[in-house]
């Protein structure tokens, strides 16, 4: 009986490894949206993630407030109560002002873009820590489709790589699997922007003769047909010119602050990678 | 219970934990719960759990679909093999085996990422954080085992009581 049990244990392992390997083989190097079954899983888990994020923010706020009050212990109860009230009002006011400023920036940015946009809230980040993606609270029901560009007031954030009816996954430009066709704004030199492990990016395929200096602004070229031309992407931080290399090593600091993403804008434009005109060409 | 706990932890990692913890520091609750299920529910339950949680992480992350499913199934195999040398019912066994498997999982992940042309810079700090992840995951393993055992006993008792 025992050997039979052992064989069964190995079969279980073999079957799951086989399934996982098949999945990797079919999906490595490809970007595909969630399947209907996966969409159901996301539709169930994403509200929970939203709830957890909101709760965590509330707890964080309460915790910070607690530390703020520790120094006031020796003051009398009336003053403490008053300070408590004022501080809460102040926090609320600051939060409103900061939200207002963010939304005003977004609105100004929205007005500068010709295509219609949908604003979405960030409800989660990549759970692995190895990849760079976010989950947003808008999906196909709000008009979102695969490969739509995502931006914020500072510049390009990423593009949609999976969508369900109410949620979508955004691959950030700082992910190593991301690639954005870009231009150096001043000299119009071209390159492909890819993510680096340290929340920075590298502009690939910039020839050694190219005119690129530290401080140059990088914008989208529009050549990849995903991002509209001229969106700010980042600023050149470092340019290395190694004699035996074909290309310059250009490090770019993204315009957007990816550690503080809260609201983003999705540009509603047709998925260029699935349009019939592209297929016939 | 195990599925729910692990799901909440994965969502927490995507919401809060990864924002405050160092990038490569990863307390791996999935491995701990897989070890618990291997001890209590047997091989099939543990394998299905490991595969399912890996798939969920794959769905939520921007990696390749199947990557974490494969990683956790491999972790499950290591637990299965390691359980012949370390007693998962003892605190020491839980600490050592879970810690070793977490370290192994991190190394395999780096290997797989490298195979998929993902740029990972092997450095002393990277391996330090892997070690710290393994150590602290091993450290909390006996606690999680106790909590899950307690909940399982209570739940089973309640079910028996109801019948």
Which chain B residue's Cα is nearest to A259? B19
Q: Is the pLDDT of residue A65 over 50?
A: yes
Nearest to B64 among A8, A28, A56 (CB): A28
Q: Quote the distance between the C-alpha of residue B34 and its chain's center.
A: 6
Q: What are phi and psi of A254, to 5 degrees?
A: -60, 150
8 Å CB contact of B62 and A126 = yes
Are A45 and A93 within one domain? Answer: yes
CATH code of the domain containing A254: 2.40.10.350
pLDDT of residue B34: 92
Domain ranges of chain B: 2-6+25-162
Could you tell me if A128 and A175 are in contact, meaning their C-beta atoms sit under 8 angstroms apart?
Answer: no
> A42 and A166 share a domain?
yes
- Mean per-residue pLDDT of chain A: 81
Enter the DSSP assignment of B58.
H
pLDDT band, residue A48 (cuts 50/70/90): confident
Q: Is the CB of B51 less than 8 angstroms away from the CB of A196? A: no
Of A17, A127, A177, which is closest to B70 when you measure between CB atoms? Answer: A17
- Distance between CA atoms of residues A264 and A261, nearest Å: 7
Instruction: Please check whether residues A116 and A52 belong to one and the same domain.
Output: yes
Beta bridge partners of A233: none
Q: What is the C-alpha separation between A161 and B60, in angstroms, rounded?
A: 11
Q: Does B8 touch chain A (CB under 8 A)?
A: yes
Q: Check: CB of residue A201 under 8 Å from CB of residue A126.
A: no
Q: What's the confidence (pLDDT) of residue A278?
A: 46
Q: What is the pLDDT of residue A269?
A: 77
Q: Which residues of A touch B67 (CB under 8 A)?
A: 24
Q: Which of A1, A7, A130, A164 to mutate to test the interface with B (most CBs of B within 10 A)?
A: A130
Return the DSSP state at A262: -
Which residues does A120 contact at the CB level (< 8 Å), separation at least 6? A136, A137, A138, A142, A168, A263, A264, A265, A266
Q: Are residues A71 and A152 in the same domain?
A: yes
In a domain, A242, yes or no: yes
Are the beta carbons of A121 and A137 closer than 8 angstroms?
Answer: yes
User: Pick from A211, A207, A215, A209: which is nearest to A251 by CA?
Assistant: A215
Average pLDDT for residues A257-281, to the nearest whole number? Answer: 70
Tell me whether B56 touches chain A (CB under 8 Å).
yes
Mean pLDDT on A212-233: 88
> For residue A168, what pLDDT is reported?
92
Q: Tell me how far apart the alpha carbons of residues B52 and B58 are, in angstroms, rounded to a whole number.
A: 10
| Residue A31, token pair as written in the block | 């970007």
User: In this predicted structure, what is the pLDDT of residue A107?
Assistant: 75
More confident call, A246 vs B18: A246
Instruction: Look at the block and give the residue holding tokens 């995502």.
Output: A150
* Mean pLDDT, residues A172-176 taken together: 91
Distance to chain B for A80, nearest Cα, Å: 31
CA proximity to A136, closest of A101, A160, A108: A160
Tally of CB atoms within 10 A around A191: 24
- A9 against B47, higher pLDDT: B47
Candidates B47, B50, B67; nearest CB to A24: B67
**Could you tell me the CA-to-CA distances from A268 to A112, A127, A171, B30, B88 in Å, in that order?**
14, 27, 16, 38, 54
State whether A68 and A145 are in the same domain: yes
Q: Which residues of chain A have a CB within 8 Å of the CB of B59?
A: 34, 38, 41-42
In terms of CA atoms, which chain B residue is nearest residue A178?
A: B62
| Greatest mean pLDDT among A126-130, A213-217, B10-14 | A213-217
Q: Is the pLDDT of residue A172 over 70?
A: yes
Number of domains in chain A: 2
Is residue B59 within 8 Å of residue B101, measured between CB atoms?
A: no
Q: What is the mean pLDDT of residues A230-247?
A: 87
Q: A-contacting residues of B 122-161, CB under 8 Å?
A: none
Where residue A159 falls among pLDDT bands split at 50, 70, 90?
A: very high
Same domain, A114 and A158: yes
Burial (CB count within 10 angstroms: exposed 0-12, middle 13-18, buried 19+), residue B141: buried
- The reply to whether B116 touches chain A by the CB within 8 Å rule is yes
Is residue A265 a part of any domain in this protein? no
Interface contact A13-B77, CB threshold 8 A: yes
Do A127 and A193 fall within a single domain? no
**Number of helical H runs and strand E runs in chain A:** 4, 12
Q: Rounded to an integer, what distance in angstroms lies between the CA atom of residue A176 and that of residue A132?
A: 8
Contact B10 A16 (CB under 8 A): no
Band of the pLDDT at A158, cuts 50, 70, 90? very high
Tell me the chain B residues in contact with residue A196 when contact means C-beta distances shorter than 8 Å: 119
User: Which residue is it, tokens 């430009």?
Assistant: A173
> A130 and B56 in contact by Cβ < 8 A?
no
Q: What is the domain extent for residue A95?
A: 36-172
Question: Which residues sit opposite A254 in a β-bridge?
Answer: A234
The residue with greater pLDDT, B75 or A277, is B75
Q: Is the pLDDT of residue A88 over 70?
A: no
Output the domain CATH number for residue A64. Answer: 2.40.10.340
Q: Do A126 and B68 touch (CB under 8 A)?
A: no
Percentage above 70 pLDDT, chain A: 82
**Is A225 contained in some domain?**
yes
Are B59 and A42 a contacting pair at CB < 8 A? yes
With contacts defined as CB-CB under 8 Å, which chain B residues touch A132? Answer: 62
CB B74 within 8 A of CB B53: no
Gap from B38 CA to chain A (nearest CA, Å): 11
- Within a domain: A29: no
Q: CB distance B15–A129 less than 8 Å?
A: no
For residue B81, list chain A residues with Cβ-Cβ distance below 8 A. none
**Is B71 or A57 the better-scoring residue by pLDDT?**
B71
In this prediction, residue A157 carries a pLDDT of 93
Mark yes or no for CB contact A20/B54 under 8 Å.
yes
Tell me if B30 sits within 8 A of A139, measured CB to CB: no
Q: Are residues A120 and A189 in the same domain?
A: no
* pLDDT at position B163: 33
Query: Which residue of B lies nearest to A173 if distances are taken between CA atoms?
Result: B62
Evaluate if residue A61 carries a pLDDT over 60.
Answer: yes
Of residues A89 and B81, more confidence is placed in B81
Burial A159-178 (b: 16+ CB within 10 A, else e): bbbbbbebbbbbbbbbbbbb
Q: Which of A13, A23, A127 sits opposite B47 (nearest CB)?
A: A13
pLDDT tens for each residue of chain B, 163 residues long: 778 888 888 888 777 766 676 677 888 899 999 999 888 877 788 888 899 999 999 888 888 888 899 999 999 989 988 888 888 888 888 999 999 999 999 999 888 888 876 777 778 888 888 899 999 999 999 998 988 888 878 777 654 443 3
Q: Is residue A270 part of a domain?
A: no
Q: Is B67 on the interface with A (CB under 8 A)?
A: yes
Q: Could you say which of A38, A127, A197 has the minimum Cβ distance to residue B10?
A: A127
Q: Specify the pLDDT at position B102.
A: 93
- Can you tell me the mean pLDDT for A133-145? 90
In a domain, A18, yes or no: no
**A21 contacts B14? CB cut-off 8 A:** no
Q: Contact at 8 Å (CB) between B10 and A119?
A: no
**A39 near B60, Cβ under 8 Å?**
no
């Amino acid at each position: 009986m025992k050997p039979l049990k052992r064989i069964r244990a190995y079969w279980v392992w073999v079957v799951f490894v086989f399934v996982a390997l098949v999945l990797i083989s079919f999906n490595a190097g490809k970007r595909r949206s969630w399947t209907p079954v996966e969409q159901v899983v996301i539709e169930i888990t994403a509200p929970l993630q939203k709830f957890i994020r909101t709760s965590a923010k509330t707890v964080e706020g309460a915790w910070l407030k607690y530390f703020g009050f520790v120094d006031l212990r020796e003051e009398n109860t009336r003053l403490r109560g008053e300070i408590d009230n004022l501080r809460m009002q102040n926090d609320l006011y600051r939060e409103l002002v900061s939200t207002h400023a963010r939304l005003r920036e977004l609105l100004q940015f929205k007005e500068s873009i010709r295509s219609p946009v949908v604003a979405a809230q960030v409800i989660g980040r990549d759970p692995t820590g190895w990849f760079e993606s976010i989950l947003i609270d808008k999906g196909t029901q709000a008009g979102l489709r695969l490969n739509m560009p995502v931006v914020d007031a500072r510049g390009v954030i990423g593009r949609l790589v999976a969508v369900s009816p109410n949620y979508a996954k955004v691959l950030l430009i700082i992910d190593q699997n991301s690639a954005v066709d870009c231009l150096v704004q001043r000299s119009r030199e071209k390159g492909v922007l890819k993510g680096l492990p340290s929340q920075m990016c590298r502009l690939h395929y910039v020839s050694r003769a190219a005119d690129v200096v530290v401080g140059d602004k990088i914008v989208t070229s529009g050549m990849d047909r995903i991002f509209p031309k001229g969106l700010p992407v980042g600023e050149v931080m470092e340019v290395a010119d190694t004699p035996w290399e074909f290309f310059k090593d250009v490090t770019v600091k993204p315009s957007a602050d990816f550690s503080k993403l809260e609201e983003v804008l999705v540009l509603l434009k047709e998925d260029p990678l699935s349009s019939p005109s592209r297929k016939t060409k | 219970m195990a599925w729910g706990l692990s799901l909440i932890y994965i969502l927490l990692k995507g919401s809060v934990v990864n924002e405050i913890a160092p990038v490569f520091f990863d307390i791996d609750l999935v491995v701990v719960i897989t070890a618990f299920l291997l001890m209590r529910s047997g091989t099939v339950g543990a394998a299905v759990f490991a595969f399912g949680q890996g798939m969920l992480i794959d769905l939520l992350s921007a990696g390749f679909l199947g990557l974490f499913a494969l990683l956790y199934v491999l972790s499950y195999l290591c637990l299965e093999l390691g359980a012949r040398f370390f007693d998962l019912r003892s605190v020491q066994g839980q600490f050592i085996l879970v810690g070793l498997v977490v370290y192994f999982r991190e190394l395999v992940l780096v290997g797989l990422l490298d195979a998929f042309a993902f740029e990972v810079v092997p450095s002393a700090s990277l391996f330090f954080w892997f070690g710290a992840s393994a150590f602290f995951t091993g450290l909390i393993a006996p606690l999680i085992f106790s909590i899950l055992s307690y909940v399982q006993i209570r739940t089973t008792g309640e079910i028996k009581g109801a019948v």
